[in-house]
Structure 1
Amino acid sequence: MNAFAVAERSVEVPPDASARSGGLSGCLFAAARTAPQRTALRDSGDRAAWCGRPAITWTYAAAAEIVGRLARGIGAWRLPAGSRIGLWFSGGAEAALAHLAVEAAGHLPCAMPAAWDPEQLAAGIEAANLLGVLTEGRRGSRRPAEELTHAAMRQFSLRYLAAFGPGVPDGVISLDAMALERGVAEPVASLGLVTFEGGDPERPVYRSAEALAAAIAAHCDALPPSADERILTLLPAHDLRGLVTGLGAALAAGAGLETVIPFEEAGFRTALLRPVPTRLVVPALIEPALAALPLPFTVRALNVVHRAPAALTRRAAPDGEKPRLDSLVLGETAIITRPGLTDLVASLAHPDRAPLPPALLALARGDDGGLACRGPACASAPLPRGAIPETDAGAWRDSGYRPILAGGTAIGVAAI
């Protein structure tokens, strides 16, 4: 697969906006037509030690070709359209390729946390009623593809297992081989995606393609990324938090996505110094450590991501002059992104006056003090074992959290 890695070039043409309604794979293919040599996906860190794979750089053209080949191979499985297919990856370019390929093939990607143990894995497969799972052969000391073969013995509905190598055991389809086969399938209309509330394998949550696009657009509204940027993220893409701030934001803008997973300091420092205009996405947990690390001039913006429940007090910033985004993630329901922590806490203290894009996301406080939200950006529903559920973007829904107020200012968010 290294033969498809192509060097970076700067191209100024953004993807067709109309492709965004077709899902993430539609954005990828649109950008591949208009800006084929722009970097789409890049791995950082010591991937060889982590998973026995080299770190790869993919242009939009190369990524679209591989996604199209994988989608064609998945289509040959002859599963019913809209089948639920799990994605069990630690992160990186191959995780993104797998997600996009499942979507492009007309199936429903179900992103599962890498940290699940075998019992959680089996419970998640059962709860989401998965017919297939894509994974990796190695993940540090773990062997996910091998673990899946054991889980499949107890899950009679699970018909197809596939993995990127090395270490792909018998009975598991090689995604490496599939990616080298001839023939590229164009993406079909996206059906959305499934994530798991709080990483709980018993609580799969469905979001339509339109709702995901709205969540991405609401996030990007605060400070739109540009196509010449890369998004350098430390967040895995197994939940709404990582998908919206990472892969979703990058593909919507036609920008590049670079992941540092697993995190290790040397790889992060190397990635940070790459001479590319950068939007850095980090969990709030590591913000104090960032304060000791001067950010290079290439970092155009810092996106600090808080996951509720959370304290929302300003910590020492690595560079107060850089534009900053603060994102608050309310489970798998919504992401609230504002230009800085001051704006975010003001939006939580007075949600009815929050300057959010009204066609996408609105906030209110209920009688119990809890936050409620409405709009396509938060339209989701628990996933039943049967048909895909209906979601109502016009209905108010409880977020499950309430702001903690002190002197009229929000200083945190707590679970109700």
Structure 2
Amino acid sequence: MAEWAADAALDASARSEDAPEGLSESFFGGLSEGLAARLFAAALTGPQRTVLRDSGDRVAWCGRPAITWTYAAAAEIVGRLARGIGAWRLPAGSRIGLWFSGGAESTLAHLAVEAAGHLPCAMPAVWDCAELSAGIESAGLVAVLTEGRRGARRPAEDLTRAAMRHFGLRYLAAFGPSVPDGVISLDAMALERGVVEPAPSRGLVTFAGGDPGRPVYRSAAALAAAIAAHLDALPLSADERILTLLPGHDLRGLVTGLGAALAAGAGLETVLPFDEAGFRAALLRPVPTRLVVPALVESAIAALPLPWTVRVLDVVHRAPARLTPRSAGLAGPQRLDSLVLGEALVLTRPGLEDLAATLAHPEDALLPRTLLDVGHGPAGGLGCRGAACAAQALPRSGNPETDPRAWRDSGYRLLLSGGTAVAVAAT
């Protein structure tokens, strides 16, 4: 991969060589031990700060009221759920699926699996039964956590049918209502007494392109680096909240949402599923806000009169993507643009022009090169190196080792016009 190095900044290599051998807690705000550990740490320093809030008509969607949890309350619930999962006596580092549509309960489940010393495997809610079964098989799951209702669907019931084809699937659990026989109630587990301290994170698994046959492993250190690289573009304070329209089942949602919030000790509010009334009500909460939206709704957001509390707008582009403005300049909030290259990389810059310039001329960009570097390969191919993009395909057993200093082909190439980056396309 010598081609990548030819286009990288000369001083980038020197700074990468000076990077710490390990990703220390102080360097990454405590995230190198995992998201659950960061939740517990923040619960000690700011117990009454809100960490999780649901918006929209959750009763109509899942038969449950919207949830608002403080850091202290969320840590206690996560500790109780982790204690219950620990009672299953699974080998440490077991792979446990998370099949949720988003919201506070999916976050609690993710953190509980991590706190129990296992490997959370986040699966897209849009999967049908065949895709669910394929994901269980390819990731080698021994347990799956889900929800009883999801609009007109009944995920827990779908899960029981899929489980009949997988002898290695030992435990099924769900938040209610509509939890069928044979599925453990996570509601009841959350009411049991006893809290365990979180184990160090073993990383996480997501699925490239939502493909159930392509599970991708990322270590806790690599996730911490990805979050730190994202926040390097514009730090977040504990007094802010992230209001997001993205689900948390992939790298883009986790880095720009839960990971960023926990790194800063801030709050995370999700509007899933989307409904206009719930979104408008969420926007009007008198809290300094970082609004995270997919690029598909950028034009619709530009037409809204955003309140003064929305201080930052983070538009998230998923490759392949255009890098040309789709709407007139937005007055008011500061702009961030995040480009997601599969499950490998989230590249965040202060505006679309800066993002395009960074991709076209990475040697001149002010990147946090101890975490992330970007370079060009043959035919405009985009490569990256650093702990922030250290992800690998998940093998059938064990977790792969990654070299953060090795260049990686992102699977995408840059399209240029007059020396300006105008789009990112698949190779």
TM range (shorter): over 0.9
Which amino acid in structure 1 is aligned with residue 147 of structure 2? E
Q: CA deviation at 1:112?
A: 0.2
Indicate if the aligned counterparts of 1:290 and 1:317 stay in contact, CA closer than 8 A: no
Q: Distance in 2 between matches of 1:320 and 1:220?
A: 22
1:302-337 Cα shifts (integer Å, max 9, x gaps):
000000001111122573332110000000000100
Indicate if the aligned counterparts of 1:294 and 1:319 stay in contact, CA closer than 8 A: no
Please state whether the residue corresponding to 1:399 is helix, strand or coil.
Answer: strand
Q: Which residue of 1 aligns with 2:350?
A: 339
Q: Distance in 2 between matches of 1:18 and 1:387?
A: 28
Q: Which residue of 2 aligns with 1:90?
A: 101
Q: CA deviation at 1:21?
A: 1.5
Q: Which residue of 1 aligns with 2:412?
A: 401
Q: Which residue of 2 aligns with 1:146?
A: 157
Q: What TM-score does the superposition give when structure 1 sets the normalisation length?
A: 0.95
Q: Which residue of 2 aligns with 1:222?
A: 233
Please state whether the residue corresponding to 1:400 is helix, strand or coil.
Answer: strand
Please state whether the residue corresponding to 1:252 is helix, strand or coil.
Answer: helix
1:188-267 to 2 correspondences below 5 Å: 188-267=199-278
Is 1:166 the equivalent of 2:189?
no
Q: Distance in 1 between matches of 2:308 and 2:85?
A: 43
Q: Which residue of 1 aligns with 2:135?
A: 124
Q: CA deviation at 1:166?
A: 0.2
| Structure 1 unaligned regions, length at least 5 | 1-14
Q: Distance in 2 between matches of 1:18 and 1:270?
A: 32
Is 1:313 the equivalent of 2:324?
yes
Is 1:22 the equivalent of 2:47?
no
Q: Which residue of 2 aligns with 1:133?
A: 144
Q: Which residue of 2 aligns with 1:107?
A: 118
1:30-70 Cα shifts (integer Å, max 9, x gaps):
01011000000000000000000100100000000000000
Is 1:156 the equivalent of 2:167?
yes
Is 1:177 the equivalent of 2:188?
yes
Indicate if the aligned counterparts of 1:68 and 1:186 stay in contact, CA closer than 8 A: yes
Q: Which residue of 2 aligns with 1:62?
A: 73
Please provide the CA RMSD for this pair.
1.1
Q: Which runs of 4+ in 1 moved over 6 A?
A: none
Counterpart of 1:48 (choices 59, 67, 71) is 59
Q: What TM-score does the superposition give when structure 2 sets the normalisation length?
A: 0.93
Q: CA deviation at 1:78?
A: 0.1
Q: Which residue of 1 aligns with 2:424?
A: 413
Q: Which residue of 1 aligns with 2:20?
A: none
Q: Distance in 2 between matches of 1:346 and 1:376?
A: 22
The number of equivalent residue pairs is 402
Q: CA deviation at 1:403?
A: 1.2
Please state whether the residue corresponding to 1:368 is helix, strand or coil.
Answer: helix
Q: CA deviation at 1:353?
A: 2.4
Q: CA deviation at 1:18?
A: 5.3
Q: Distance in 1 between matches of 2:388 and 2:327?
A: 31
Q: Distance in 1 between matches of 2:254 and 2:302?
A: 25
The structure-2 alpha-carbon separation of the partners of 1:202 and 1:186, relative to structure 1 and needing over 3 Å to count, comes to same
Q: CA deviation at 1:367?
A: 1.8
Q: Which residue of 2 aligns with 1:359?
A: 370
Q: Which residue of 2 aligns with 1:271?
A: 282
Which amino acid in structure 2 is aligned with residue 265 of structure 1? E
Q: Which residue of 1 aligns with 2:7?
A: none
1:53-111 Cα shifts (integer Å, max 9, x gaps):
10010000000000000000000000000000000000000000000000000000000
Indicate if the aligned counterparts of 2:29 and 2:263 stay in contact, CA closer than 8 A: no
Q: Distance in 1 between matches of 2:82 and 2:175?
A: 14
The structure-2 alpha-carbon separation of the partners of 1:61 and 1:98, relative to structure 1 and needing over 3 Å to count, comes to same
Q: Distance in 2 between matches of 1:27 and 1:63?
A: 12
Q: Which residue of 1 aligns with 2:43?
A: 32
Indicate if the aligned counterparts of 2:308 and 2:332 stay in contact, CA closer than 8 A: no
Q: Which residue of 2 aligns with 1:370?
A: 381
Please state whether the residue corresponding to 1:141 is helix, strand or coil.
Answer: coil
Q: Which residue of 1 aligns with 2:11?
A: none
Is 1:379 the equivalent of 2:390?
yes
Please state whether the residue corresponding to 2:379 is helix, strand or coil.
Answer: coil
Identity score, percent:
77
Which amino acid in structure 2 is aligned with residue 60 of structure 1? Y
